[in-house]
């Protein structure tokens, strides 16, 4: 089965580590592509390609400021990821509850001991 195009699927878009790094950098605020490229140690055209994919799936937006194009995080695009991962919250909470019960049982003195 063919993979969905990265430009139409948030999950595929963030499968690329450098795109996740870009999103992490943009959490601090908008930045120009040249700054992002330098921070990541990649070429400006490489950073621009990643930003284009992230923009097309709705994870970043851009605006012109003089001669620069500034990119910022569009957290609304993360909604599908949040909803998907949120489905595992109940699983993890139940697992941690069972672990806590087990640890509490280990702390109890054995039945019939004289302590």
pLDDT value at residue 28: 95
Q: Is residue 37 part of a domain?
A: yes
| CA atoms of 28 and 23, how far apart (whole Å) | 9
CATH number for the domain including 48?
A: 1.10.10.10
Q: Is residue 52 part of a domain?
A: yes
Query: What is the count of structural domains for the chain?
Result: 1
| CA atoms of 47 and 26, how far apart (whole Å) | 13
Q: In what order do the strands lie in the sheet with 60-65?
A: 31-32, 68-73, 60-65
Share of the chain above pLDDT 90, in %: 57
Closest Cα partner for 7 from 47, 51, 49, 57? 57
Contact at 8 Å (CB) between 32 and 69? Answer: yes
Q: How far is CA 94 from CA 30, 82, 99, in A?
A: 39, 19, 9
Question: Whole-structure pTM over 0.75, yes or no?
Answer: no
| Chain center to CA of 47 | 17
Q: Is residue 114 part of a domain?
A: no
- For 20-40, the pLDDT digits (tens) are 999 999 999 999 999 999 999
**Choice between 48 and 100, residue whose per-residue pLDDT is larger:** 48
Q: Is residue 46 part of a domain?
A: yes
Structural domain range at position 26: 1-108
């Amino acid at each position: 089965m063919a993979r969905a195009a990265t430009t139409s699927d948030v999950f595929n878009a963030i499968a690329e580590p450098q795109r996740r790094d870009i999103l992490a950098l943009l959490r601090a605020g908008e930045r120009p592509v040249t700054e992002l490229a330098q921070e990541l140690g990649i070429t400006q055209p490489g950073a621009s390609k990643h930003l284009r994919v992230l923009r097309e799936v709705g994870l970043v937006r851009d605006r012109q400021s003089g001669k620069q194009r500034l990119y910022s995080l569009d957290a609304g695009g993360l909604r599908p990821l949040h909803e998907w991962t949120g489905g595992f919250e109940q699983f993890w909470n139940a697992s941690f509850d069972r672990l806590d019960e087990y640890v509490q049982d280990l702390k109890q003195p054995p039945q019939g001991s004289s302590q």
